[in-house]
């Protein structure tokens, strides 16, 4: 093949080298507009996984790289004047200029044509004269811009400002310096890359950047390659303590705002994007160089494995997209954490360190326990101490109090609609469903959304509390839970609003019922939930009063049924939620418009229910923290919504998201809604003593422990996990070897409280080593510091 590569960065060069090795007959040309010695930035970090791929693909080059690496396993976090060290992580870094020189040399040895200080020919000319054109021209890719209608890029410019710098101080490990200044929190990401220097990235929120006066040079027109020397001089003074007498070095260093690049397509005909041209991920979880070189490996392999170009490029994009999107989800969580780092300035140092390390949700409590057990022990002890508890136990098995109600542990069975009631009456199915979850060990079991009227149902199979018969049926379930378990049981009350009168889930989710079996819908505005949904009628003041009366009557019946707590459903696009969202509430009276008006009716309902509900029993509110659509509610609105309900007496906020519109575009991922709970907890709830519940794609006990230990929520609600395993909480206790009051097995079940052996765990293995090594993987488990010797310098 005749292949043109636009961009002589690590991704483009590595691709050229790999392709030439796979087929020496390839004719490869790399165009790079800069000189071979021009490079911006300082060091490049690699993961063990990426290094393993490089070694498998090119042993010779991997060996050359390895001789240049700085290696270490520790992370040092400097916070409130203390240094906290966590080991066992595993890093390798080298100078970016060294990496480029090695790649250039490898390409020349293999016969790749390298053209520096040369702008690539016209793109269409290249496409016409080459079998393949690879655009590896970086985050500001001109190639991508020229074909934006095909690649359909989205560029998400973030709110933090950062500057890429270096220092001749050779750090011994990865460094996080968290600096409190008169203007706000600033942070440094630092790591060694050789025996002579370290990368030193300064980052801060845009508000802090403005307050500190760094915007003074924002409009300055600097020549290409020049640094913002005024800002660099200021940073040199600000971080004099961290530099410890060493130099702060600039290299095309100026203030930047990170942009997350995504493209709907990565290739078109014989043109393909690679590296930052295709995607970016925030530097706080790794380097763009790492991703670009992984792209290169995958693209070279796919071109070699497939006969046709289109098939090869399809395979490349399919293979890499899922990896990149997973990385971008983790990077998004990480960058948002650093954007909001000021929220955590009050945290205990140990909790802060754990919070920082687990920010991307890729590293969890279990990971850290494997890597550094001593640090994990400190985290457990600090959490117990912060809760005023004497016994150290897994966080999920520490007790918690909502108002006057004490829960034995912090696991909640989330409300899940079962669509199995008859005329609103729960039956034996509900008894077994909720009873089994209570016997399964959860601290709190929640009902499905129990509807306050027949017209307030989602489907004909929804449970209700508008009759005494329904009350008595629920009372039977509550009595069973109280008699057969130590769990508490909560009632969720709601009204379907514009999402009502639909088929059972398995007959067509959200599909309107046929004529004759349906009922009229009410909503704040005559706006349907989706294109195929029925249009609701705008609710009148008189109907609002009737809805309030229905909620009050249902709450009183719930109290008579002896439910332990009540949750008001103000999420997921149902009636009260639809008042809160500007997407569904387009009223022009006192119940629409600004958020304070949109809150008016939900707060009226809350106040009336709170007055009817026994004062000694807690009352919760579930909200949608974002609508996942432009012009809808955001996490900032969620903070104000939570603040309003807390001011009216809510004992806890249950933080979900979305389901307000069929057009929503959620950013699904592991515990993807937890950041919303985190924000509400730190901005509003902690100061008022209000509990916060995290929910959404929390699937493992490791997730639960990590969320709680980091201070992102007080309790965790899990739904589908409990459908898969009704005894999930008890099994989690067995897996963690916990025994105690927080996870008591029912007496008839106690013989099964140990995990059964499997075919591969029956045998006890003999010792087959005469001398036992100090560690099976010393690199991973020791506190390895980068302390270069003369041998390193010579290499």
Give 683's contacts (C-beta < 8 A, 6+ positions apart). 343, 639
HEC profile for 601-633?
HHHHHHHHHHHHCCCCCCEEEEEECCCCCCCCC
How many other C-beta atoms are found inside a 10 Å radius of the C-beta of residue 782? 14
Helices 288-305, 10-22: crossing angle, 10 deg rounding: 20
Catalytic residue check, 574:
yes
Alpha helices in 111-183 (DSSP H): 123-129, 142-146, 148-151
Instruction: HSE, CB side, 13 Å, CA atoms: give it for residue 61.
Output: 29
Indicate if the alpha-carbon torsion angle 80, 82, 87, 93 is positive or negative: positive
Q: How far is CA 574 from the centre of its chain?
A: 26
If we measure between CA atoms, which residue out of 695, 740, 753 comes closest to residue 721? Answer: 695
Indicate if the alpha-carbon torsion angle 734, 736, 739, 743 is positive or negative: negative
Decide if 44 contacts 135 (C-beta within 8 A): no
Indicate if the alpha-carbon torsion angle 248, 251, 257, 259 is positive or negative: negative
CA angle 77, 80, 86 (to 5 degrees): 20
Q: Percent helix, strand, coil in the chain (nearest 5)?
A: 40, 20, 40
Indicate if the alpha-carbon torsion angle 228, 233, 237, 240 is positive or negative: positive
DSSP secondary structure code for residue 673 in this structure = T
CA angle 590, 593, 599 (to 5 degrees): 65
Decide if 194 contacts 70 (C-beta within 8 A): yes
Strands 75-79 and 174-181: parallel
Helix (H, G, I), strand (E, B) or coil at 263: strand
d(CA 180, CA 379): 23
Q: Which of 162, 574, 672, 701 is catalytic?
A: 574
Q: Please give the backbone phi and psi of residue 379, each rounded to the nearest 5 degrees, phi first.
A: -65, -45
d(CA 635, CA 632): 10
d(CA 277, CA 139): 5
Decide if 441 contacts 482 (C-beta within 8 A): no
Tokens encoding 138: 């970086």
Q: What is the dihedral of CA 389, 392, 393, 395, to 10 degrees?
A: 60
Q: How far is CA 785 from the centre of its chain?
A: 30
Residue carrying structure tokens 């500007």: 582
d(CA 704, CA 395): 8
d(CA 655, CA 694): 6
DSSP secondary structure code for residue 390 in this structure = S
User: Hey, which residues are catalytic here?
Assistant: 574
């Amino acid at each position: 093949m005749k292949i043109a590569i636009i961009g002589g960065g690590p991704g483009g060069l590595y691709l050229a080298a790999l392709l030439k090795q796979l087929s020496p007959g390839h004719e490869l040309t790399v165009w790079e507009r800069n000189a071979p010695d021009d490079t911006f930035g300082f060091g490049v970090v690699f993961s063990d996984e990426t290094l393993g791929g490089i070694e498998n693909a090119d042993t010779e080059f991997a060996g050359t790289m390895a001789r240049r690496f700085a290696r270490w396993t520790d992370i040092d976090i400097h916070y409130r004047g203390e240094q906290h060290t966590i080991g066992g992580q595993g890093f390798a870094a080298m100078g970016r200029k060294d990496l480029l020189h090695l790649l250039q040399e490898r390409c020349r040895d293999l016969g790749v044509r390298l053209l520096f200080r040369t702008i690539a020919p016209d793109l269409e000319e290249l496409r016409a004269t080459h079998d393949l054109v690879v655009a590896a021209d970086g985050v500001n890719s001109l190639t991508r811009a020229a074909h934006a209608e095909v690649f359909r890029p989205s560029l998400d410019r973030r709110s933090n400002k950062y500057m890429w710098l270096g220092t001749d101080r050779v750090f011994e490990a990865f460094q996080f310096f968290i600096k409190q200044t008169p203007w706000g929190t600033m942070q440094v990401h630092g790591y060694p890359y050789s025996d002579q220097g370290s990368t030193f990235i300064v980052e801060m929120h845009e508000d802090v950047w403005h307050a500190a006066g760094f915007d003074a040079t924002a409009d300055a027109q600097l020549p290409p390659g020049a640094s913002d020397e005024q800002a660099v001089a200021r940073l040199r003074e600000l971080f004099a303590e961290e530099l410890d007498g060493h130099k702060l070095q600039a290299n095309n260093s100026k203030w930047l705002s990170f942009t997350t690049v995504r493209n709907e397509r990565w290739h078109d005909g014989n043109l393909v994007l690679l590296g930052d041209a295709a995607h970016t991920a925030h530097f706080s979880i790794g380097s763009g160089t790492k991703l670009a070189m992984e792209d290169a490996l995958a693209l070279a392999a796919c071109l070699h494995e497939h006969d046709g170009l289109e098939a090869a490029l399809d395979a490349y994009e399919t293979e890499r997209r899922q990896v990149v999107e997973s990385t971008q989800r983790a990077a998004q969580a990480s960058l948002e954490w650093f954007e909001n780092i000021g929220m955590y300035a009050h945290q205990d140092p140990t909790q802060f360190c754990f919070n920082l390390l687990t920010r991307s949700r890729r590293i969890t409590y279990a990971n850290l326990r494997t890597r550094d057990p001593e640090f994990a022990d400190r985290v457990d002890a600090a959490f117990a101490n912060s809760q005023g508890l004497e016994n150290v136990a897994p966080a999920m098995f520490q007790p918690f109090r909502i108002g006057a109600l004490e829960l034995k542990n912090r696991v909640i069975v989330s409300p899940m609609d079962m669509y199995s009631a008859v005329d609103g009456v729960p039956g034996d199915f509900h008894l077994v469903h909720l009873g089994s979850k209570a016997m399964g060990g959860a601290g709190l079991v929640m009902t499905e959304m129990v509807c306050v009227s027949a017209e307030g149902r989602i489907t004909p199979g929804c449970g209700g509390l508008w009759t005494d018969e329904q009350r008595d049926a629920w009372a039977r379930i509550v009595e069973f839970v109280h008699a057969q378990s130590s769990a508490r049981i909560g009632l969720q009350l709601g009204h379907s609003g514009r999402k009502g009168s639909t088929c059972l889930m398995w007959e067509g989710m959200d599909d309107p019922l046929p004529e004759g079996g349906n009922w009229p819908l009410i909503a704040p505005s005559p706006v349907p939930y989706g294109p195929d949904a029925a249009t609701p009628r705008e609710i009148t003041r008189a109907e609002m009063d009737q809805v309030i009366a229905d909620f009050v009557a249902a709450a009183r019946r719930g109290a008579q049924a002896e439910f332990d707590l009540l949750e008001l459903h103000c999420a997921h696009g149902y009636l009260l939620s639809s008042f809160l969202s500007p997407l569904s509430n387009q009223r022009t009276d006192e119940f629409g418009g600004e958020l304070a008006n949109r809150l008016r009716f939900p707060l009226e309902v809350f106040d009336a229910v709170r007055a009817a509900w026994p004062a000694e029993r807690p009352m919760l509110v579930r909200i949608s923290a974002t609508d996942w659509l432009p012009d809808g509610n955001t996490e900032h609105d969620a903070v104000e919504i939570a603040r309003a309900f807390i001011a009216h007496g809510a004992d806890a906020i249950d933080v979900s998201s979305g389901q307000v519109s069929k057009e929503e575009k959620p950013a699904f991922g592991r515990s993807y809604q937890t950041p919303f709970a985190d924000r509400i907890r730190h901005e509003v709830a902690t100061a008022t003593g209000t509990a916060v519940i995290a929910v959404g794609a929390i699937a493992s006990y490791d997730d639960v422990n990590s969320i709680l230990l980091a201070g992102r929520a007080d309790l965790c609600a899990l739904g589908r996990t409990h459908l898969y395993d009704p005894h999930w909480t008890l099994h989690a206790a067995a897996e963690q070897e916990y025994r105690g009051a927080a996870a008591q097995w029912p007496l008839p079940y106690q013989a099964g409280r140990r995990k059964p052996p499997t075919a591969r765990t029956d045998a006890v293995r003999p010792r087959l080593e005469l001398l036992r090594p100090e560690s099976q993987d010393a690199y991973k488990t020791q506190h390895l510091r980068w302390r270069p010797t003369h041998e390193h310098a010579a290499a």
